[in-house]
Structure 1
Amino acid sequence: MDFTGRAGRREYWSFFLLTLIPAVALMAARELSGSLAVSLATSTYLLATFPPWLAVNVRRLHDSGRSGWWLLLWFAGPVGWIVYFVFMVVKSGLGDNRYGRHPDAAPIPVREAPWPQASGMPRADGA
């Protein structure tokens, strides 16, 4: 679980949908069956997915240049929920920000070491 860096809209909404669909199915099964086993399975699933949900939400806020503390908008009621939803939907800037590189930016190329390989040491590639 990574609370650092940035999560683009695709990563955020993919995670949201891939965790929401089983959650809704489990909650519906719990309501229809009333079984203790289904209730425990639902609670376990929701507790297990909460930390990753928190992490991807913080990283999505980082993508728009906001601190993870903006998650506290959830406690502001319907107005906070609407503002938070707008934060999740709006496209972020393409450049880097204080939280890191843009998620869709090209990776930084890895360069060879600027010094020659010592002759007595084995090479990393096994040659």
Structure 2
Amino acid sequence: MWKRGRHMPPFLLLSSEIYDPLRFSVVSLRKGGTIMEWMLLPLKRYADFSGRSRRKEYWMFVLGVFIAAIVLSIIEGIVGLSGMVGGVYGPLTTLFLLGILVPSIAVQVRRFHDQDKSGWFVLLALIPFLGGLAVLVFMCLEGTRGPNRFGPDPKGGANPEVFA
């Protein structure tokens, strides 16, 4: 009845596939992991401040945090908990953001390591106005090719143990 790769209903997809409604077919994401695996990878490396991280790992994590914060804010708005903490955030969003603080700093340090820069560059974000902009620019820059003093190139070849 249903053939893999052709007209597959979304609820029967594997974790490494995504349904493409424009083509009415399934597209495999297995080349380097699924979107969700990239979003959760910094949580698996929770307090690992050594090594290197790709741009994809960083930006997928940022996207996941952004989506989760929006969903929590909507839930808090429906339940009536929004604005309870400092007049801005609800308790669920506050707990989530506090819980995600260490992995956020760790993945940012690993991004700086990927560019062969010290992890202390994270402190640039403490400079009002321009510091956050400088960190944003650094997070967009490509890492150094090949190994550097912080480890091997995360893009260099397929590493099947990244998502294990």
Category of TM-score, reference length = shorter chain:
0.7 to 0.9
2:100 equivalent to 1:49? yes
1:23 matched to which residue of 2?
A: 69
Q: How many residues align?
A: 107
Distance 1:5 1:48 in 2: 22
Residue of structure 2 aligned with 1:68, choices 113, 119, 129: 119
Relative CO higher for 1 or 2, CA cutoff 8 Å, sep ≥ 6? Answer: 1
Query: Equivalents in 2 of 1:32, 1:78: separation in Å?
Result: 33
- Report the structure, 1 or 2, having the larger strand content: 2
Percent identical among aligned pairs is 36
Higher helix share: 1
What letter is aligned with 2:112? Answer: L
Q: Quick one: which amino acid aligns to residue 91 of structure 2? A: L
Specify every segment of 5 or more residues in structure 2 that has no aligned partner in the other structure, as ranges: 1-45, 160-164
The CA deviation at 1:31 is 5.5
Give the TM-score normalised by the residue count of structure 1.
Answer: 0.74
Cα RMSD (Å): 2.2
Q: Which amino acid aligns with 2:117?
A: R
1:34-64 CA distance string (max 9 Å, x none): 426x822111111111111111111011101
Listed as ranges, the gaps of 5+ residues in structure 1 are 109-127
Q: 2:146 aligns with which of 84, 95, 102?
A: 95
Corresponding residue SS for 2:90: helix
TM-score (norm 2): 0.58
Highest Rg: 1 or 2? Answer: 1
Aligned to 1:11: 57
